Structure 1
């Protein structure tokens, strides 16, 4: 049964990870080894107070809000425009971080480009900007058959990131998240999620991209050393890092702190990790002192309740 608590676990898990990473975004791994993050900090990279989340959470909440009214690409695209233009679903009323590919896509939307045509399709358009916000799609898993869920996941990615590689990364992530939501422990969810999604990607137009996912589909991402894990803004790096952090941790806090302390794109690596870890460990196992510091905490709780109510009307 999909409860408000299960939805909140993912949304808050993502948001807390994001907020933990915001103050140290762009710092190096060497800096994080020398001075590891262990608590909710503030200011730093963006000079914002503790508990401030970035575009990762903002766009995640935009998507979740739209899904409360059913699946509409036009509505989702419009919410992204509202975020950029009006500060909609921002922690403090202003946008302080946006990826280049997302910025170009929103400019295209502003000019009337249809949502499925707005996102970047070039090799260089494979940042992690759609992966970071795709998590709410997992809560539609009981309302759609699996192939429909993945197809809609691809479409949501395409609004900003339309290259097949970004679509696949989102599909893999949602497939694994579905297994976690159904109660599998992380390693089992990883293997099951890969098996389910492989059926789609091995018999589709996406096969040419499969070599880029060799390490993920090996089923052994957890066995890589930390030196082999990259934490840049590239979508493959973020997917690999988030799975590695989840699979090499035994609590929510360990997983997201591991992600932040990889350095680099700290907020997104921790957000993507935190979404999965939140689903598995539950909101009750996210440190309460972190949740208490999160900006607009009650709005996020209310969003989860609306989403749960909406899912049961589908």
Structure 2
């Protein structure tokens, strides 16, 4: 597909990639300061409308959590998988797993190891070396070098939302067929979460993002995900959650109480359902994101999922500028988004038989 990208297509794709990554980070940051609060506590602290802007979390406003951190490393892993195709090594789950191990190092190390050049540029970003309430399953699943697989997953009983909140980048592989996008997200989810629902919810989310990145309508993308889910064993829990989200759209005006009827977002299928519902009923990006975080549950993860969807659907220019301006790590996110878009649309000009860019291979080593 890289050979047939026109300039307008490239610009549209880059805008959607930027929108997806920035939108997810904004939703994450909006929910970070209220993640463990009840709806009653949120209203008591911030007024009857709940939060309407960033509130302090981890010492400042606009701070992101492990949701954004892991999403960035997913993105980087996918770029490096594409680069490694030149060497004849082609197994994206392995490259994503190595990226997740680099993320895990940021949760325990004081800072980047400047002596190592094979880590690439993202792992040298000092601001990422911060613990932002990472999920136990993600930490445990990446506590050693063994890669969990669907047949032999890490944390066999876990279906936490840590699979969904990091899986939007799989959907940005717009040159792939939806079924392959679904499968890749499932295989990478198994690296930390073994329960089928945790894996299938990640696959469904990736396919929905994939449809949006290709220009499909959100409801159509959800229906496509449901069709793919229906062919999988153990899909019913994820399917039911998405069906409840669709049903909630028809039940009246959006409200935090209606969001809470879909769950709290701590599990993968609930985070997916809440994020999808809020994106479906959103009057605009601001409305959708605030609806996604103002509830008594995993506000940063549901905000992140909703932001990924709305950003992929509408592109970066639909995001509120004041939130982008205050967002932690904005420069890193934009660099990574642009690199991803460039790799997916112009890879032959960066590396291949005709020659390679040394600076690109320094950023994304193929070793």
Q: TM-score, normalised by structure 1?
A: 0.88
1:107-186 equivalences in 2 (<5 Å):
107=143, 110=144, 112-116=145-149, 117=152, 119-122=154-157, 125-142=158-175, 144-186=176-218
Aligned mates of 1:161, 1:259 — CA distance in 2: 24
Distance verdict in 2 for CA 1:211–1:259, change over 3 Å: closer
Whole-angstrom CA distance in 1 between matches of 2:319 and 2:97: 34
Work out the CA distance in 1 between the residues paired with 2:260 and 2:27: 22
- Unmatched runs of 5 consecutive residues or more in structure 2: 1-8, 82-91, 112-122, 252-257, 349-367
What's 1:214 paired with?
240
Query: Given the alignment of the two structures, is residue 8 of structure 1 paired with residue 22 of structure 2, yes or no?
Result: no
Deviation of 1:7 after TM superposition, in Å, equals 0.8
- Cα contact 2:197–2:237 (8 A) shared by 1: no
Which position in structure 2 is the counterpart of 1:25?
A: 35
Any gaps of 5 or more consecutive residues in structure 1? Answer: none
RMSD (Å) for aligned C-alpha atoms:
2.1
Shift of 1:118: 5.5
Question: Which position in structure 1 is the counterpart of 2:265?
Answer: 232
Distance in structure 1 (CA, Å) of the matches to 2:172 and 2:214:
11
Measured in 2, the distance between the counterparts of 1:193 and 1:221 equals: 18
Match of 2:338 in 1: 305
Q: Please list the CA deviations of residues 132-187 of structure 1 after superposition, one character each: whole Å capped at 9, or x if unmatched.
A: 00011111131x22222211111111111122111110111112112212222323
Matched with 1:287 is 320
Return closer, same or farther for 1:245/1:310 CA change in 2, 3 Å cut-off: same
Q: Higher helix share goes to which structure?
A: 1
For residues 185 and 140 of structure 1, the distance between their equivalents in structure 2, rounded to whole angstroms, comes to 17
Structure 2 SS opposite 1:229: coil
Distance between the aligned counterparts of 2:36 and 2:126, measured in 1?
21
Tell me the matched-pair count: 299
Matched, 1:68 2:91: no
For the Cα contact (< 8 Å) 1:115–1:158, is it kept in 2? yes
Partner of 1:223: 250
Q: Deviations over 1:209-264 (max 9, x none)?
A: 41453241464342354452222311121111111111111211111100111232
Q: Which has the larger radius of gyration?
A: 2
Residue pair 1:131, 1:170 contacting (<8 A) in 2 also: yes
Q: Deviations over 1:251-293 (max 9, x none)?
A: 1111110011123211111001110011112211111110111
Q: Which residue number in structure 2 is paired with residue 59 of structure 1?
A: 70
Which piece of structure 1 moves more, 244-253 or 227-236? 227-236
Residue 80 of structure 1 is matched in structure 2 by 103
